Structure 1
């Protein structure tokens, strides 16, 4: 599924290879939840509200610890149990903060559907600008 090259790149030892592979397969399912949380927490923090993202993060961390204990001590799920606990906690925080913004911060949402249209000149200008920005960043990075 494309995980083997990642494990090779990370030089994962053979004795933990299978566990790492099963862990990553489950963890990758939580990327959407993490993206939701990050998007809406950044939105709220940009508006000066850092408390709500912190609350959702704390709830997620406590839930993750509780589920880790459940999936390891009570249910013998092993490494996959730890991964499932993390993904469940991520989805709770991601969906929770999304619902918070949708229900409590209606003024942040667009009043009409956003229509995206991208033309060829727009793409070429953005690609050139992005390349310039990236190359500037590399030229300013100190070398080891």
Structure 2
């Protein structure tokens, strides 16, 4: 079984995923808009260039998304966070700083009892992020 995160944007999925690829790396394996697909007939003309499906593959994991037409959405992400954990503190801080531009920081990057660096934010696209550095193996206790 594989579990993947699927995000719903309100029209800025292309911009968000372009940034996410720059910040997180990986490969955009899909960035398909409605134009020219059977779905084009089911969206308003001003929505045909919005994203029907996007996929960012990072080390065998997938972050997927689309733009949700206003008549089919209760708004962008609600009560969901994408959690990113990396081995190095410097990398966690870099990712957090890059995602912080125009964001609402809910918990600044700091040392916690579970991570040498951890922070939470809602980026300018409405995506909630939890960014952390892995605890060194000699300190980790996953029970």
What TM-score does the superposition give when structure 1 sets the normalisation length? 0.29
Structure with greater helix share of residues = 1
Question: Larger RCO: Structure 1 or Structure 2 (Cα < 8 Å, ≥ 6 residues apart)?
Answer: 1
Answer with 1 or 2: which has the greater Rg.
1
Structure with greater strand share of residues = 2
What TM-score does the superposition give when structure 2 sets the normalisation length? 0.30
